[in-house]
Structure 1
């Protein structure tokens, strides 16, 4: 599936990723998912958005979102694509020191190293201003000491390090400001507990505890005073990639439903001939295509350096794709009836997976708040 907005190079990339992803069976466990990740890394798909000087493909979020969408459409959506190259890789590439770039970007690009991202806290979900994980300097050594908790952090067990969002005190105002720190997995005081999730996914979710975690001064990514600028440099790609994640899942579910509707015959014709079946599937396709166009717009704006325009478009894309994904999966399961809940057809597990695209990394209600305030100029209620 290509669009008029895509260049010849993008169409070729889409076709190559699709062929690669379809040549692999659906990953149903961590081992298969890791193998698929490593193979994708060797082909340059994981690092397609990272700078060529550090082993990447020199593209942008446009190319990376295209890769994730096609993987999802083939039944192999990689959740950590949203986290490792899109958030962590982007932030380090834009704001990291030369040493941080040389240390992390080549491995992220070729899939041999993985980074998780820790922002959400038990009392700071939608409102990131309530983050309480704090970092303070050890005056004697210059080290940083991090203390706090994080929750719903993906893939910490398989990640070499986690990019942690903490807060430091502004010496001038006394107010806390966000800062980013690279915390290696085995750092003393950095503990993890796996959350008991009903969501079927190869990537596990964790609660993190940081108890005076000591980090060297160079663990800080970027400027201590940059604050939200650096944070949103990673959050906008996160929204764009989540949209691509949802579109890919929706396309996969829709394709399974279409195959079934063309063949399944109850009366005299295949069930797909009946408008009660055909029209909802057509609506699902339309919704997916419209959300894809907004995703492409958001990716283009971000890659062009328009952070403000990309923020608006990324939120809209994530909203539209989340809704389209849930509807497509629901309609696919409904089309197959009882078969839609069997392991054979592989749709039932997508019911919960699709919900992720709707609620994470930001809820649809908060996106509506953003659009009503930032785009429409309406007053806040909070």
Structure 2
């Protein structure tokens, strides 16, 4: 469980990528320096593996990028900003950005010299994207845009060069509000951030944002003003796939620590791993992680094939399955180690909180169950 866990359904190229990233993760490990690891992963082409080759990327897709994040997580050094910068923002700009936006941002996102955060969640909107109140109106003087609103639980804004903000513009024909995406530079006047005090131990911090009459040029709008949800979900599906990869990697890391301990720890005549009360729950955790990975691979394959509808369903299921498997693996790992599972030496106690993040973000497991019951099973809505 300590090395790369390639799948029989992966091509040799993907297996080689998995092994190479696993080796990188093992060199850095749990006590890694985030900036050093980020720079090395970028130099090796892993950060931009999903971005187009003509803009400095690797020309791959979510299948490749999810492998990178999973293997780094399995080595104890996940890079959370990979979920945001290349997966969400890079994908949206590559698919819908202007030529100038692509040339401005994609090479930097690919080589790690630039990063971008993603801002969608709001204090009063929760999982209801239709209640987003961040609005963008035309600046009559410049022809650009003026953004006003608030965002919360936005990762890595302090280290990002810009944030891709989800706002809403008014449809001139119907008067209704529709979602649109805007690139907001970190130092834009009126763009304020305050760090949220989190129990979660993570190198990437969480922020609340205030957009107070932030004036942006016309070319800050990404994609078509009338595309609405199409462009938004182009970023949200990769986010779910990458969250699954993050959770699977974390679960594998915890399980590997537990297995090493169970093989070596001896209280009676045999190591504790010989006892079924220890062995069977660990075996179940492994099975559930492997099953979650299969769904993640399906979601990535569908997304890379351009099947957005199919990918949406699979990405939600993958995120749900991976989060549940991760929580179970972490809990069982802690129980396997007993008191040692709560010490800093073994590095598992912090994962008790971290594992719950995958259940909550970017969308709660309850909302995923709503999605599946409505979209897949055809059951009526209660809201």
TM range (shorter): over 0.9
Q: How does 1:325-336 map to 2 (within 5 A)?
A: 325-336=326-337
Question: Alignment partner for residue 8 of structure 1, among 7, 12, 16?
Answer: 12
Structure 1: runs of 5 or more not aligned: none
Counterpart CA distance in 2 for 1:325 and 1:86 is: 21
Matching residue of 2:158:
157
Shift of 1:312: 0.2
The equivalent residue for 2:286 is: 285
Q: Does 1:240 align with 2:244?
A: no
CA distance in 1 between partners of 2:182 and 2:93 (Å): 10
Asked if 1:354 is matched to 2:355, the reply is yes
CA distance in structure 1 between the partners assigned to 2:338 and 2:8 by the alignment? 35
Query: Matches of 2:57 and 2:348 in 1, distance apart?
Result: 34
Which residue of the partner structure matches residue 36 of structure 1? 37
Q: Give the CA deviation at 1:234.
A: 0.2
User: How far did 1:27 drift?
Assistant: 4.2
- C-alpha distance in 1 between matches for 2:335 and 2:152: 34
Distance 1:100 1:138 in 2: 20
Segments ≥4 residues shifted beyond 6 Å: none
Per-residue Cα deviation, 1:237-268 (whole angstroms, up to 9, x for no partner): 00000000000000000000000000000001
1:135-154 matches, cutoff 5 A: 135-154=136-155
Q: Matched residue of 1:57: which SS?
A: coil
Unpaired runs of 5+ residues, structure 2, are none
The alpha-carbon deviation at position 35 of structure 1 amounts to 1.5
For residues 297-349 of structure 1, the C-alpha deviation after alignment (integer angstroms, 9 at most, x for no partner) is 00000000000000000000000000000000000000000000111111111
For 2:78, what is the secondary structure of its paired residue? coil
1:190 corresponds to 2:191? yes
Residue in 2 that maps onto 1:78: 79
Could you say which residue in structure 2 is the equivalent of 1:17? 21
Residue 269 (structure 2) pairs with residue 268 (structure 1): yes
Structure 1 window deviating more from structure 2 (349-358 vs 307-316): it is: 349-358
Contact 1:27–1:33 under 8 Å retained in 2: no
Q: Distance in 1 between matches of 2:176 and 2:84?
A: 29
Q: TM-score, normalised by structure 2?
A: 0.98
In 1: Cα distance, 2:43 partner to 2:189 partner? 32
Q: 1:140: how far off?
A: 2.3
CA distance in 2, matches of 1:140, 1:83: 33
* Distance (whole Å) between structure 2 residues aligned to residue 56 and residue 165 of structure 1: 25
RMSD over aligned Cα, in angstroms?
A: 0.6
Q: Per the alignment, in what secondary structure is the counterpart of residue 177 of structure 1?
A: strand
TM-score by length of 1: 0.99
Q: Hey, what's the Cα distance between the residues in 2 that align with 1:9 and 1:346? A: 32
- Is the Cα contact below 8 Å between 1:120 and 1:151 reproduced in 2? yes
Q: How many matched pairs?
A: 379
Give the 3-state SS of the residue equivalent to 2:168 in structure 1: strand
Query: In 2, distance between residues paired with 1:138 and 1:106?
Result: 30
